[in-house]
Amino acid sequence: MQLRDLAAGGRERELGRVADKNSNTELSSNGRFLALSDGQRIKIWDVTSGHELTSFEPRASSDSTSQSSNIVRVSDDGNQVATGGLNSPTVIWNARTGKQQLKLNGRTNQAYKISFSADGNRLFSGGRTFWDLRTGRGLRMLSQPNDKMIGFPSPDGLKLVVVEPNTRILSVIETQTGRQVNRLEARGEGVVQSVSFSRDSSLMAATYSPAKRVSSPDQFLNSGSQIKIWDVGSGRELNTITVLGGCVDAIFSPDARFVATLDVAGNISLWDSGSGKRLRDITGHRGTATAIAFSADSAKLAIGSSLSDGSSTSRGEVAVWDLKANRISEVLRGSQQRITNVAFTADGQWIAASATDNTIQIWDVTSQRPLSSLTGHTANINSIAFSPNSRLLASAGDDGSTFLWDTKTGDQLLTLISLDDGSEWITVTPQGLFDGTPVAWNQILWRYDHDTFNVAPIEWFFTSLLESVHVWKTTCHARIVVSQSLS
């Protein structure tokens, strides 16, 4: 393993050999320490000197699992290490002794592939909880979810396609009954990376990557080379699309006639979903394409891109490709960072784009001018979607949070969080008002004066400060007013 100092002209320093090719590394937030999870062993280096400070195999307590963890984080003083993974508990270790200090119970579920139902009454974010926007409640997707599953709900919410990481098997499950209606195993090699549905839920595009061990949701959702089109009802494999460069995204046009693919090099291709034949490559946009989205009428494709100026940072812009005229019709500028996701409103008048600085920009397509900039996410935004009436925008973050925004004012309205098996949930306003299940309440502490260590249990405030927050108030644009500061 080598450490490269970009400030010193790319000078490299050899740190040592790595036993596991799927090992995970992470710098502390102040850049002083580098942590490595290499199989069962944890190592920490001083970045400045390049010296290895400690190397240990975590010693779990009797109530902890002994499985290896794939993700590692190191504190700014180098004294503590946190480990976890897709199917592993989160544990904090003493970096000097290798002893367990704390095992964290419960978990925040991943938020990804965000979408609204056609009537706008439900919001899907991840594979464990969906949100009823009429009552403000989070509801479990399946009655008996598997801890190892990664689920992809259909747009109508009637089916959930379940994938176990590192397999090529898809299980199609009825959400209302929990009954498995199909078990789909593709011919050939590779493992399932991601799943996308046609708008009417009749077709499914499953992306398969070369077989390799997956250690995190990010790895699971960001590699691939083959897309197989399935008939969801019959379970029949219809055709195969091969993306030589490795597929980052594969999406159906709303009319289901086309599939657009984006590969790791930024190449965009348009395919016939019925035959699997490539129709054309889409070019002419500036920079490297990083995100794609169809308009609701299937007539246009939004292309988010990264424009590099030779420095370590890059700007972003969105080009709108007219599929009938086969040319770029509009260019939306103003993003200061690389674009990560794009989305059209149902009427095609607005486009939203998230960027690597965790902001979201909304443009008017016709005038090509920016309307608002949404800020609040503290983790990478992996998915965005407008509600059918365009009044709300939902965004999913890598930290498991789902944000609801008022598209007219740019205000953040709610943060939605799914916990544990999906039946536990909480919604929080920026003012600190909340609603949720009792189990979720017990995972909250009030913080005073922005001091992480000056906290109190939530039940102290049940009688005097608690106000129930319902998402239906948000969708009706009822303003929630806080009578006193809780910060």
Contact 298, 257 (CB under 8 A): yes
Query: What percent of the chain is modeled with pLDDT above 90?
Result: 49
The confidence score (pLDDT) of residue 200 equals: 95
pTM passes above 0.85: no
- Judged against a pLDDT cut of 50, whether residue 66 lies above it is answered with no
Over residues 167-184, the pLDDT tens digits come to: 889 999 999 899 999 999
* pLDDT computed for residue 458 by the predictor: 67
pLDDT at 312 > cutoff 70: no
Highest mean predicted confidence (pLDDT) among 68-72, 144-148, 347-351: 347-351
What's the mean pLDDT in 56-83? 70
Q: Which two tokens stand for residue 357?
A: 């600085």
Residue pLDDT, tens place only, 269-279: 999 999 999 99
Lowest mean pLDDT among 35-44, 280-289, 346-355, 368-377: 35-44
Average pLDDT of the chain to the nearest whole number: 84
pLDDT greater than 90 at residue 343: yes
Residue 324: pLDDT over 70: yes
Quote the longest CA-to-CA distance of the chain.
Answer: 66
pLDDT band at 75 (very low <50, low <70, confident <90, very high): confident
Q: How confident is the model at residue 101 (pLDDT cuts 50, 70, 90)?
A: confident
Distance in angstroms (rounded) separating the CA atoms of residues 448 and 65:
35
Q: Which of 64-68, 300-304, 431-435 has the lowest mean pLDDT?
A: 64-68
The C-alpha atoms of residue 279 and residue 327 are separated, in whole angstroms, by 15
Secondary structure, 3-state, the chain: CEEEEHHHCCEEEECCCCCCCCCEEEECCCCCEEEEEECCEEEEEECCCCCEEEEECCECCCCCCCCCCCEEEECCCCCEEEEEECCEEEEEEECCCCEEEEEECCCECCCCCCEECCCCCEEECCCCEEEECCCCEEEECCCCCCCCCEEEECCCCCEEEEECCCCCEEEEEECCCCCEEEEEECCCCCEEEEEEECCCCCEEEEEEECCCCCCCHHHHCCCCCEEEEEECCCCEEEEEEECCCCEEEEEECCCCCEEEEEECCCCEEEEECCCCCEEEEECCCCCEEEEEEECCCCCEEEEEEEEECCCCCEEEEEEEEECCCCEEEEEEEEECCCEEEEEECCCCCEEEEEECCCCEEEEECCCCEEEEEECCCCCCEEEEEECCCCCEEEEEECCCEEEEEECCCCCEEEEEEEECCCCEEEEECCCCCEEECHHHHCCCEEECCCCCCCEEEHHHHCCCCCCCCCHHHHHCCCCCCCCCCCC
Position 463 pLDDT exceeds 60: no
Distance of CA 277 to the CA centre of its chain: 30
Nearest of 205, 187, 186 to residue 195 by alpha carbon = 205
- Cα–Cα distance for residue pair 262/394, rounded to 1 Å: 23
Question: 308: which 2 tokens?
Answer: 């590099």
pLDDT bracket for residue 103 (50, 70, 90)? confident
What is the pLDDT confidence band of residue 161, given thresholds at 50, 70 and 90?
very high
- Distance in angstroms (rounded) separating the CA atoms of residues 440 and 425: 6
- Supply 173's token pair: 């499950």
Range 9-32 average pLDDT? 76
Q: Which residue has the higher pLDDT, 430 or 323?
A: 323
Cα four-point dihedral sign 123, 124, 125, 128? positive
pLDDT band at 153; cut points 50, 70, 90: very high
How far apart CA 269 and CA 263 sit, in angstroms, is 9
Sequence letter at residue 356: T
Q: Which domains does the chain possess?
A: 2-104 (2.40.10), 141-282 (2.130.10.10)
Q: Which amino acid is at 425?
A: W
Question: What mean pLDDT comes out for the span 407-433?
Answer: 90
pLDDT of residue 196: 96
